[in-house]
């Protein structure tokens, strides 16, 4: 029996759960069976790890993961692996996980309850709930984060739209994919040949990988039928973090020569003063379907702060616009785009940080970055972190960049940023920019392309959502106008 959960959503949940590929089997849903605690426990108890997903009428998708079997015997159960998540909010892509702050009460087993996480932080329903005449279930549960699960400063209303009206609840059993013996042998052999622990299962840094990543990125493009011809990928970060250098490095991977389009160098105030969307060309001159958007350094006293970032994300800032540290952008600013098209909006964001400085980030720096992160996510824009200058973490990294995913120093920097910003580690990409090199290096290209691929794919996903939402809104408007006529 098929469910509503998409393959992309399953992939995202698989990433959050960790420990390798999974299978998802739908074992319970309230529209085909009944919204009953008794029926839930009859079908879902003793089934191992499960994912519970709620879909509400506004297009929000959220739920929880239980790493142990549901039971009916009462009381709280410890589950370090449990988490509450959201995949969509009001029809827009919003990816969040809320991990336990007290795992001893991560799950609550009560015969009269449906799936219940925390104190409760997420209670789906109690007893029996009948379907309304409108075809929805007005659940008697609630979303109330920050009891036993961290809320990451996300209001509960930004998860369930402030109510428990639900179109569907699904519960999937989650199982590890059984690998063939030859695959297990390959993985075992690969690990024994390594000199250190492999902290990320990633592609090998080879010429073949560079070619494959270039081809994959080349083939991702906006859907036809929209005014969007290329994705807008925004880079923000502190002065000197390496935003412009990353743009040059990413360009270099497609031309096989070190590019210098974006000005780079050292300056206390930064060399980049404008918002510049760079087009990326291949060796034959053909354009790729994205623009890498450079910005001035981020900070309280710089020309880019949270206020100017707000206008930038929404597409109000024209290309080549020069920001001022003495005044904010407003609707009266010369060149201000009052009604930006979808093509002018930002489709994904990379926060660029210097890996050698993350351990020394002050609470003020962290607060500013988290504020920007919340602003980005509130606008349903996906983002990643690019950690530059990883060669500064240890001299051996610079000598052998192909071992980057075995280096504990790089893993530590990734985990530090993940924890500080409350994002999954697989959204943090270590890179080394071309800086001293006069010829391109394969491993440098491969790392930059891994980060770029993630940005492009996230932009493609969010553009699909925005386009679909726009079409639905137009259809609803047409129906309304037809009825009023």
Q: Which residue has the higher pLDDT, 368 or 146?
A: 146
Q: Is the pLDDT of residue 477 over 50?
A: no
What is the reported pLDDT for 195?
A: 41
Q: Are residues 424 and 281 in the same domain?
A: yes
pLDDT at 271 over 90: no
Task: Show Cβ contacts of residue 479 under 8 Å, excluding neighbours closer than 6 positions.
Answer: none
pLDDT score for 484: 53
Residues 305 and 402 in one domain: yes
Q: What is the pLDDT of residue 316?
A: 96
Has residue 265 got a pLDDT over 80? no
Torsion sign (Cα): 313, 314, 320, 323: negative
Comparing 281 with 399, the larger pLDDT belongs to 281
DSSP for 406-421 reads G-HHHHHHHHHHHHHH
- Higher model confidence: residue 190 or residue 229? 229
- Is 285 domain-assigned? yes
The enclosing domain of 445 has a CATH number of 3.40.50.300
Residue of 376, 326, 373, 377 lying closest to 353 (CA atoms): 373
174-186: b or e for each residue (b if 16 or more CB lie within 10 Å)? beeeeeeeeeeee
Helices 363-378/306-313 angle, 10° precision? 20
pLDDT at 268: 60
d(CA 165, CA 161): 9
> Do 241 and 326 have their domain in common?
yes
- What does the pLDDT read at residue 307? 84
* pLDDT for residue 378 is more than 70: yes
**Domain residue limits at 283:** 205-473
- What are 411-430's pLDDT values in tens digits? 999 999 998 898 889 999 99
Kindly state whether residue 478 falls inside one of the protein's structural domains: no
Residue 181 lies in a domain: no
> Of 138, 160, 176, which residue is a domain's last?
176
Residue 187 lies in a domain: no
What does the pLDDT average to over 197-209? 85
**Does residue 49 sit within a domain?**
yes
pLDDT at 479: 47
What pLDDT does residue 178 have? 62
More confident residue, 111 or 74: 111
The torsion defined by the Cα of 272, 273, 277 and 283, in degrees rounded to 10, comes to: -30
Range in 37-51, 424-438, 462-476 with the lowest mean pLDDT: 462-476
225 or 357: whose pLDDT is higher?
357
Four-point Cα dihedral 423, 313, 340, 453, nearest 10: -50
What's the chain's average pLDDT?
A: 88
Residues 235 and 156 grouped into a single domain: no
- What does the pLDDT look like over 16-66, one tens digit per residue? 898 778 899 999 999 999 999 999 999 999 999 999 999 999 999 999 999
Domain boundary among the residues 176, 197, 226 is at 176
Q: Which residue has the higher pLDDT, 213 or 479?
A: 213
Tell me, yes or no, whether 165 and 213 share the same domain: no
Whether 102 and 239 map to the same domain: the answer is no
pLDDT of 193 > 50? The answer is no
Per-residue pLDDT at 197: 63
Residue 121 pLDDT greater than 90, yes or no: yes
pTM of the model: 0.59
Same domain, 249 and 347: yes
State whether 223 and 271 are in the same domain.
yes
> Do 138 and 214 lie in a common domain?
no
The CA distances from residue 218 to 233, 436, 449, 452, in Å, are 15, 27, 11, 11
Which pLDDT score is estimated for 298?
80
* Residue percentage of the chain with pLDDT more than 90: 62
Give the percent of the chain with pLDDT over 70: 90
More confident residue, 463 or 449: 449
Binned at pLDDT 50, 70 and 90, residue 272 comes out as: confident
Q: Are residues 153 and 261 in the same domain?
A: no
| Pair type for strands 61-66 and 50-55 | antiparallel
310 and 395, same domain (yes or no): yes
pLDDT the model gives residue 482: 52
Which two tokens mark 93? Answer: 């892509």
Cβ neighbours, 10 Å, residue 314: 15
Q: Is the domain of 425 the same as that of 322?
A: yes
Q: Would you state the structure tokens that stand for residue 6, as one six-digit string?
A: 């998409």
Please, which pLDDT band fits residue 155 given cuts at 50, 70 and 90?
A: very high
Strand partners, 174: 24
Q: Is residue 184 part of a domain?
A: no
Q: Is 123 or 362 the better-scoring residue by pLDDT?
A: 123
* Residue 237 confidence (pLDDT) above 70: yes
Determine the pLDDT at residue 301: 61
Quote the CA–CA distance of 236 and 372 in Å, as a whole number: 10
Q: Is residue 188 part of a domain?
A: no
Q: Is residue 200 part of a domain?
A: no
Instruction: Give how many domains the chain has, as a whole number.
Output: 2
User: Given pLDDT bands bounded at 50, 70 and 90, which one contains residue 189?
Assistant: very low
Region 79-92 average pLDDT: 94
């Amino acid at each position: 029996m098929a469910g509503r959960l998409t393959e992309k959503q399953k992939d995202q949940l698989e990433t959050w759960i960790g420990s390798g590929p999974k299978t998802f089997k739908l074992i319970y849903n309230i529209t085909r069976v009944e919204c009953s605690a008794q029926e839930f426990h009859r079908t879902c108890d003793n089934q191992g790890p499960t994912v519970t997903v709620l879909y509400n009428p506004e297009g929000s998708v959220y739920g929880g993961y239980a790493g142990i079997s549901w039971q009916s015997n009462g009381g709280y159960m410890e589950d370090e692996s449990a988490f509450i998540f959201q995949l969509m909010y009001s029809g827009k892509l919003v990816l969040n996980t809320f991990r336990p702050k007290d795992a001893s009460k991560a799950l609550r087993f009560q015969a009269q309850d449906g799936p219940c996480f925390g104190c409760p932080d997420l209670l789906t329903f109690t007893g029996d709930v009948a379907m309304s005449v409108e075809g929805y279930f007005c659940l008697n549960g609630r979303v109330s984060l920050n009891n036993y699960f961290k809320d990451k400063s996300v209001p509960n209303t930004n998860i369930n739209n402030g109510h428990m009206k639900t179109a569907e609840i699904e519960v999937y059993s989650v199982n590890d994919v059984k690998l063939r013996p030859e695959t297990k042998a390959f993985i075992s052999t690969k690990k024994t040949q390594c000199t250190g622990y492999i902290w990320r299962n990633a592609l090998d840094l080879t010429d073949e990988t560079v070619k494959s990543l270039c081809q994959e990125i080349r083939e991702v493009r906006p859907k036809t039928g929209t005014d969007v011809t290329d994705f807008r990928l925004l880079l923000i970060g502190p002065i000197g973090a390496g935003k412009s250098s990353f743009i040059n490095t990413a360009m270099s991977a497609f031309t096989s020569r070190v590019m210098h389009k974006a000005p780079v160098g050292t300056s206390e105030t930064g060399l980049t003063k404008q918002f510049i969307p760079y087009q990326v060309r291949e060796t034959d001159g053909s354009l790729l379907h994205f623009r890498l958007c450079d910005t001035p350094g981020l900070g309280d006293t710089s020309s880019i702060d949270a206020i100017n970032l707000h206008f930038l994300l929404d597409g109000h800032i024209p290309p080549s616009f020069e920001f001022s540290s003495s005044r904010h952008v407003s609707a009266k600013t010369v060149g201000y785009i009052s009604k930006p098209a979808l093509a002018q909006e930002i489709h994904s964001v990379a926060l660029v940080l210097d890996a050698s400085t993350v351990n020394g980030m002050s609470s003020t720096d962290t607060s500013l970055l988290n504020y920007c992160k919340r602003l980005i996510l509130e606008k349903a824009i996906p983002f990643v972190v690019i950690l530059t200058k990883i060669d500064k973490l240890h001299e051996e990294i610079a000598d052998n960049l192909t071992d980057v995913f075995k280096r504990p120093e790089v893993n530590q920097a990734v985990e530090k940023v993940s924890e500080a910003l409350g994002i999954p580690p697989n959204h943090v990409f270590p890179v080394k920019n071309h800086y001293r090199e006069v010829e391109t290096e394969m491993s440098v290209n491969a790392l930059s392309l891994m980060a770029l691929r993630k940005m492009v794919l996230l932009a493609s996903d969010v553009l699909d959502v925005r386009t679909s939402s726009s079409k639905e809104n137009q259809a609803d408007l047409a129906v309304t106008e037809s009825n009023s006529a």
